Amino acid sequence: MSFDMNDAEPQRTGELIPDGTFAKVTMNVRPGGIDGSSEIDRGLLKAPKDPSSDVRLLDCEFTVTEGPHVRRKFWQMFTVQGGKVDENGVSIGWKISKSTFRAMIDSALGLDPSDMSEAAKAKRVLRGLADLNGITFIAKVRIESSEDPRYGDSNKLDRVVLPGEAEWRKVMDGEVVPACPSTRARPKSPAPPAQPAWNQATAAQAPARPAAPAWAGASMPPQQQPAAKPAGPAWLNS
């Protein structure tokens, strides 16, 4: 058997997606082997490197689906359990992640974030975090500087772009929107310690999970009352 390499894609460089890029992305959850609180989240969560930490993470991979950066990927962790808590004992990391996940749903389904009708609220109900697997939404991507000189900078999710923003409609319609770099300062990578002059010459340089909901192309159904126990999120029933 022979292998024809002529139709292989050219090797990708280490070049990052430009800071401030607007793009349509699909998020896939990579199982980490730890059970979540929902039946469909068995084996879904991931533990941090610190064995003493009670934090549990959602390990997510983002893939650009359209435009000049199509098929480019970046990765990000979201805290869904544990860590520092607020005055009510709720995980602060989870509150931040929950807000981001809600924005993803609004962006994916074209929901007005201020729409709190029963029909809109029903679409934001998940059976478990595994329902977020495969969600497609509009994102603004940033470049995060590495604080460790051993590693390079990386792309991260800057924020979810919501319906009502001009960029959301343009990207949804397939337009290429100019990048808008973030104005906030990002930490710079610390410089490695200088070598003394006499030493410069020798200095060394998972388990199965439920099928993904049909997020992409989901349409908003007419106003309706949610069932007492939803069988699944709106994008499963559209």
Task: State pLDDT tens for residues 174-214.
Answer: 999 999 997 654 555 555 556 555 555 444 454 444 455 65
> Taking phi first (over 0 means left), then psi (-120 to 50 degrees means alpha), and beta for anything else, what does residue 83 get?
left
Under DSSP, is residue 109 helix (H, G, I), strand (E, B) or coil?
Answer: helix
Q: Are the CB atoms for 230 and 127 separated by under 8 Å?
A: yes
At 28-64, the pLDDT tens digits run 999 999 999 999 999 999 999 999 999 999 999 999 9
Indicate whether 230 pLDDT > 90: no
Indicate whether 12 pLDDT > 70: no
What average pLDDT does range 57-74 have in this prediction?
97
- The structure's pTM equals 0.76
φ, ψ (nearest 5 deg) of residue 29? -95, 130
At 125-180, the pLDDT tens digits run 999 999 999 999 999 999 999 988 888 999 999 999 999 999 999 999 999 999 99
**Dist CA 70 CA 210 (whole Å):** 26
The pLDDT, as a whole number, for residue 233 is: 66
Give the count of beta carbons closer than 10 Å to the beta carbon of residue 208: 7
